[in-house]
Structure 1
Amino acid sequence: MNIKKIDAFQIYDSRGFPTVEVEVTLDNGVTGYGLVPSGASTGQFEALELRDGDKNRFRGKSVFKAIDNIRKEIAPSLIGFPVTDMKSIDMKLIELDGTNNKSRLGANATLGVSMACARAAANFRGVSLFEYLGKGQGHLLPLNEIQILGGGAHANWAIDIQDFLIIAVGAKSYQETLEMTFNIYHAAGEIMRSRGKSVGLADEGGWWPDFSSNEEPFEVLLEAIRMAGYEAGKDIAISLDIAASDLFDGRVYHLKKDGVSYTPKEFCELMISWCNKYPIISIEDPFADTDYESWRAFTEQVGGRVQVIGDDLFTTNIDRIKNGIENRLANAVLIKLNQIGTVSETISAIEMTQSAGWLPVVSARSGETEDAFIAHLAVATNAGQLKVGSFSRSERMVKWNEVLRIERILGNRANFIGGELYRRILTD
């Protein structure tokens, strides 16, 4: 079945910023849509999100150029393409753009079209999106990584560390991960309110803190775990997203909340000390995306017991992931659709990560939409992990809820291995 029409529209993400929606219509009238997310803490090596820059309209954030590129250039080139040939569609998008970072047409333009075509193809075949993307081989329900406290660029720098998250490593089912998270999330809220430490919700739905130091959140998190009736390190592990590229000036790392600056070696020692002191099982972007020496040293020290995730380091880019694997810079890769700009390239990044024995973590962005595409992507590729944000706000909950629906569709084919997932890379 061939593509008959492609159209695009400006809609709004969870921060109220403009973003792109694409609708694809096939010859038989079947349609598919794609809603494009947007990041706040973005890596310098990401594919380019094209915005208009006109300060008189939406403070420069409008996406009418990307929409024009879809309507006037991409659509005419893809009309008549067989919608189920996903790789050819995505290769055509890459060819049309002609740059190494989607900067001419915009990654928000190419991704919207790629997502919409994939969903239209699934609808045409009468199967769920995860079944289409995974060719019927996806069955692993993800272990959730869920933010409890937000900081960094997602909470106006209330603290320097971007995310304090939990992972329900002791859960026996996907549904239990949500119940455990619910209990801890609300316990943390009660603690924050009782201490006068909460000023609202961060971009991804976690509590917006008012802490005096970057270590104070650990105390609240551990207390919330205890209050909810769980054991830290056994039932619940801590995960961090440092977003260290935002803290590095090319010479030292600055933790402004603590009033301290660290050389790369000192910052590496600080990260190791946190991993020794607290029940941390996963840490994302502990160093800047150019500080290879610290990445290598840190992974060598703690990579046998901690998942070391590269986000800004890899930006879902196959060449950067390959370099990381060859130089043993990490042992896991954060996967974000809009960092690379097509569905096919995203799946290839996941496959390369898995072929190296590393773990992929499918992730949302801080500026999200009501599209649950990544829930399907995580299951389709047997990625095993999903990071969406917190346990509030509908643009987050729609992803967790979609996995529940996928679980029902899979029935007895569904598989969940929980914390056993980490045995694939963690040896200590």
Structure 2
Amino acid sequence: MEDRITSVWAQQIIDCKCRPAVEVEIRTESGAIGLGAAPTGTSVGMHESFVLRDNDPSTYKGLSVHQAVNNAVSVIGPALIGMNVFDQRAIDEKMIALDGTPDKRRLGGNTIYSVSVAAFRAAAAALSTPLYKHIAGGDIRTVPVPCFNVINGGRYDGLTQAFNEFLIVPYGTDRVDSSIEMAVAVFQKLADVLTDYLGHKPQVASSYGYAAPSDDPETILALMQKAVDACGYTGRIAFALDCASSEMYNKATNTYLLKGKSVSSDELIAYARYLTETFPLVFIEDLLDENDWTGYVKAVRELDRTIVLGDDLTVTNQVLLKKAYQLRAVSGFVLKPNQVGTITEALDAYRFAEEHGMIAVPSGRSGGVVDDVVMDFSVGLQVPFQKNGAPRSGERIEKLNFLMRANARSPGCRLYDISPLLRF
């Protein structure tokens, strides 16, 4: 199958946090068009591909991406004209070679990724098929259980909640529409529960969940359980955590922040074990620092009631995933294609995980864009669950509508049954 690339065009757009992003459009001989844009995270691992910004303080506080746009049009574009849009690996390898750095620093990981997504979409468009069907190689049978970041940790006036994300996982149904309705009901009920607890309405946090009302993770999970129980969903909605502990790690003292105190890796693992014995936790992501390999090995041994996931540790990178597999440092990883910087590398990481019994959990980024390719990954790869963010803000709602549309357009499709994966 062949369809040659005829043009590569790019411009600066903004993401959901009004930060500049690169958007690329690729056109082919057949008239197919593919658009790709690179989202960015708030918690960015040190091993991720490089996000190229202009660092010009006079525009968007230094975050503009005009150089990245120019690289897409002037450097990458001419190299891709005439290439077969269906040869994703050749396209991605051409860009990696053009860049020539380990972290895509010269041309920008955000530049290369946006072009890679645009090519991927153009290939699906040339086949007149949704991208998720192109990935699946046909009809899908399941859509993933969406996981919602309802309470956001971080630094607030008067308290610091060391854990970054507190998630609900509405799994006790076989219909994605019901799963989403359950999550929305609990999210809305949680506002009342938090108002009662705080004595005033909860603040909206930067990732659109509610701002953490306490520095104690146990208190927050108990409030979440209260909202679940009040909605009548006890035993049908579980929880998950993204600790993002690299953000709260003190390299000098080799300690982590927890409930206002400094604790060791061992103490943090012991506390996580206590939480898994108290609450139904589907997974715990980034429990430790992105370089604490010894700690992760211990965490996998100790935390037998939950799935230990790597994100900053593994950054969707096959080399790091192999290391994690060999050391038994995680049971799965968070799949964020923009971390590694091309579609091909992200799919290689996914295939390695699948072949070695590791779970892949696709996730959007906090600085999301509408029409994020991660949704096509989630649905096309038919993974068990995915991370969606809070059910608030347009690009996050669009992800939910995407799941419902894909499900409705696929005869016999159902919500993935994650019960065999649960360890609580």
Q: TM-score range by the shorter chain?
A: over 0.9
Residue 163 of structure 1 aligns to a residue whose secondary structure is strand
1:240-251 aligned within 5 A: 240-250=241-251, 251=253
Shift of 1:153: 7.0
The offset of 1:254, in angstroms, is 3.6
Q: How far off is 1:372 after superposition?
A: 3.4
For residues 129 and 401 of structure 1, the distance between their equivalents in structure 2, rounded to whole angstroms, comes to: 16
Q: Which moved more, 1:105-114 or 1:153-162?
A: 153-162
Query: 2:91 is matched with which residue?
Result: 89
Structure 1 residue matching 2:11: 3-state secondary structure: strand
Secondary structure at the residue paired with 1:50?
Answer: coil
* Partner of residue 339, structure 1: 339
Question: 2:225 corresponds to which residue?
Answer: 222
Q: Do 2:159 and 2:214's aligned partners in 1 also have CA atoms closer than 8 Å?
A: no
Letter in 2 for 1:166: I
Counterpart for residue 41 of structure 1: 43
Residues 259 and 153 (structure 1), Cα distance of their counterparts in 2 relative to 1, 3 Å cut: closer
Deviations 1:47-70 (A, max 9, x none): 111111111221110111111110
Q: Which residue of 1 aligns with 2:165?
A: 163
Q: 1:124 to 1:54 in 2, by over 3 A?
A: same
Counterpart for residue 279 of structure 2 = 278
Q: How many Å separate the matches in 2 of 1:383 and 1:184?
A: 24
Deviation for aligned residue 1:97: 1.2
Cα deviation per residue 1:177-201 (whole Å; 9 max; x = unaligned)? 1011011101101112233365432
Letter in 1 for 2:71: N
Match of 1:191 in 2: 193
| 1:197–1:386 CA distance, 2 compared to 1 (3 A) | farther
Change beyond 3 A, Cα 1:185–1:401: same
The one-letter code sitting in structure 1 at the alignment partner of 2:236 is D
Distance 1:329 1:198, change over 3 A: farther
Equivalenced residues, count: 420
Q: 3-state DSSP class of the match of 2:415?
A: coil
Report if the CA contact (8 A) 2:269-2:302 is conserved.
Answer: no
Per the alignment, residue 377 of structure 1 pairs with 377
Identity of aligned residues (%): 28
Change (3 A) 1:229 1:297: same
Q: 3-state DSSP class of the match of 1:159?
A: strand
The aligned counterpart of 2:421 is 422
CA contact under 8 A between 2:249 and 2:257: conserved in structure 1? no
Distance 1:175 1:356 in 2: 32
**Secondary structure in 1 aligned to 2:161?**
coil
Alignment check: 8 A CA contact 1:3 1:25 kept? yes
8 Å Cα contact 1:154/1:202 also seen in 2? no
Give the TM-score normalised by structure 1. 0.94
Q: In structure 1, what residue type is equivalent to 2:246?
A: S
1:60-112 C-alpha deviation (Å, 9 max, x unpaired): 10111111110110000000111111111111111111111111111110110
Counterpart residue number, 1:176: 178
Find 2:67's aligned residue among 58, 65, 68: 65
For the residues of structure 1 that align with 2:233 and 2:42, how far apart are their CA atoms?
33
8 Å CA contact retained: 1:253, 1:267: no
Structure 1, unmatched stretches of 5+, are: none
8 Å contact from structure 1 (residues 32, 123) kept in 2: yes
Residues 297 and 116 of structure 1: CA distance in aligned 2, closer, same or farther (over 3 Å) = same
Does the aligned pair in 1 maintain the 2:207–2:366 contact within 8 Å?
Answer: yes
CA contact (8 A) 1:171 1:419 kept: no
1:197-276 aligned at under 5 Å gives the runs 198-231=201-234, 234-250=235-251, 251-255=253-257, 258-276=259-277
Deviations for 1:110-169, whole angstroms, at most 9, x for unmatched residues?
110011111111111111111112322643310111111111279997522100001123
| Match status 1:318 vs 2:321 | no
* Residues 158, 210 of structure 1: 8 Å contact kept: no
Once residues 63 and 403 of structure 2 are traced to their aligned partners in structure 1, the CA distance between those partners, rounded to angstroms, is 32
The residue that corresponds to 1:128 in the other structure is: 130
For residues 130 and 159 of structure 2, the distance between their equivalents in structure 1, rounded to whole angstroms, comes to 40
Kindly provide the CA deviation profile for residues 7-61 of structure 1, in whole angstroms up to 9, marking residues without a partner as x.
1111111111101111111123321101210011111111111111111221110
Equivalence for 2:113: 111
Which stretch of the first structure deviates more once superposed, 68-77 or 289-298?
289-298
In the alignment, residue 237 of structure 1 is paired with which amino acid? A
Aligned residue type for 1:44: M
Correspondence for 2:29: 27
Structure 1 residue matching 2:163: 3-state secondary structure = coil
Tell me which moved more, 135-144 or 181-190.
135-144
Shift in alpha-carbon separation, 1:107–1:338, aligned structure 2, 3 A: same
SS class of match (2:419): helix
RMSD after superposition = 1.9
CA distance in 2, matches of 1:174, 1:417: 9
Whether the 8 Å CA contact 2:21–2:39 is kept in 1: the answer is yes
* 8 Å CA contact retained: 1:154, 1:203: no
Mean alpha-carbon deviation: is it higher for 334-343 or for 190-199? 190-199
CA distance in 2, matches of 1:134, 1:364: 20
Letter in 2 for 1:83: V
2:288 partner letter = F
3-state secondary structure, aligned to 1:166? strand
Q: Give the stretch that moved more between structures: 259-268 or 68-77.
A: 259-268
Q: Which runs of 5+ in 2 are unaligned?
A: none
Give the CA deviation at 1:255: 2.6
Q: Is the 8 A contact 1:170 1:419 kept in 2?
A: no
